[in-house]
């Protein structure tokens, strides 16, 4: 997480969302675990990182103040269900655009 927080807050948020999406698209079990609020270490680490990266971006004005970490997780879990990487990338770009408005 230190590497993420060393980048600019907006870049860190975008990079983490892209990495989470890539992971979620290859590990469908993870998607279900996070979506169901599982308490295992991996799901907990995802929630913790989402919160940290988002709050870092919000403190600097790089992300909307009304977005929550659970919002981000639910959005990415939904996007992970896209039929192909092209559509998933396009949907994530839309989310990233909305986060900064």
Residue bearing the bigger pLDDT, 42 or 56: 56
Residues 6+ apart with CB under 8 A from 83: none
Average pLDDT of 26-40? 61
Task: Sketch the domain layout of the chain as residue ranges.
Answer: 2-99
Q: What is the pLDDT of residue 92?
A: 98
pLDDT at 32 over 90: no
When pLDDT is averaged across residues 95-100 and rounded to a whole number, the result is 94
Say what the pLDDT of residue 28 is.
Answer: 64
Mean pLDDT along residues 65-70 = 96
Whether the CA torsion 9, 73, 97, 16 is positive or negative: it is positive
CB-CB contact of 34 with 46 (8 Å): yes
């Amino acid at each position: 997480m230190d590497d993420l927080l060393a980048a600019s807050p907006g870049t860190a948020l975008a990079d983490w969302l892209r990495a989470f999406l890539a992971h979620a698209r290859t590990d469908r079990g993870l998607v279900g675990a996070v979506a169901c609020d599982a308490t295992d270490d991996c799901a907990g680490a995802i929630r913790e990182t989402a919160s940290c990266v988002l709050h870092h971006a919000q403190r600097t004005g790089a992300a909307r103040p009304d977005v929550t970490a659970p919002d981000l997780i639910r959005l990415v879990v939904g996007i992970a269900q896209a039929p192909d990487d092209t559509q998933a990338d396009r949907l994530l770009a839309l989310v990233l655009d909305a986060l900064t408005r």
